[in-house]
Structure 1
Amino acid sequence: MADQTDVRECPIARTLQVVGEKWSLLAIREIILGNRRFEEIRRYTGAPRDILTARLRKLEADGIVTRSEYQQRPSRFEYQLTELGWSLSPVLTVLRSWGDTHLPVPGGPSLVIEHDCGAELTPEVICAECGRPVGPKSTHPRSAPAQLAG
């Protein structure tokens, strides 16, 4: 068993603590697609009511969504993404593209994303410095000051 002092401090692990659960990402997806009310989110994600409630509360506590009451009796809320929440949109776009490519369903994708230019969006990660695509053969890890969790 690895010594706990060897655990790498990692932004991926910190991010997964906030949004790394299936129902959380699917709720964010639905809000991005314009489904902001609890029942719409539940319907299109298939999430059990209690789990979705817990995930939305956590997303609210973590600053990913805000909620506002649109009906008082009974109380009903709709959810909006914060700026922090909207910044997850490219992540979901890349996940969607990966799934369409590597886990296709018969009949093709159920949703196509169009760019503002009118073309079907094919996401690509590029280097901000040189503009070339980023991939496993074009990136190389380099040692940085050790940040070990303790």
Structure 2
Amino acid sequence: ETKKILGGPIAAFGESQIWGTLRPFAAVIGVFFIILFSKNITLMWSGPIAAFLFYSSVHIYLRWYGLEDGYKLEDRVFDGIFTGPLRKSFVYMRITAIVLVVFLLVRGFLGAGTSVMLKTVYPVVFIIIALFIRKLPATVLFYAVLIAGGLFARYCY
């Protein structure tokens, strides 16, 4: 009975935080690494790898944390999920995403990139992040960031 009662709120939290924050943030990290290492085609692959490793490690940690603390704390586990440091970490992910995008914009317009295509990629990334903050569906954001990174890698070099 308790499992049925508590399943809904935990699922709602996971849906909004995991799919709405964690997965797009992992994609932003991937694009950040792609653009950061854009001069070296071998290191550009570190972007998708970093995104995958970040998402997987945090996702597995959250599953373990939920399982372990769920048995220890029983119904008090909600205090840690909804009001604790876990909730704040997702807010910090959004702030970090904004900082990464600002860094990429500054690097793109003030850095060595002089091509028109290169200078248009940075505003596109900024728009994607702005949509991320406006709560666009996570799947749309995830694929938009991956496509933007792929276009950057294909047409800028």
TM range (shorter): under 0.3
Please report the TM-score for the alignment, with normalisation by the length of structure 2.
0.26
The structure showing larger relative contact order (alpha-carbon pairs under 8 Å, at least 6 residues apart) is 2
Higher helix share: 2
Please report the TM-score for the alignment, with normalisation by the length of structure 1.
0.27
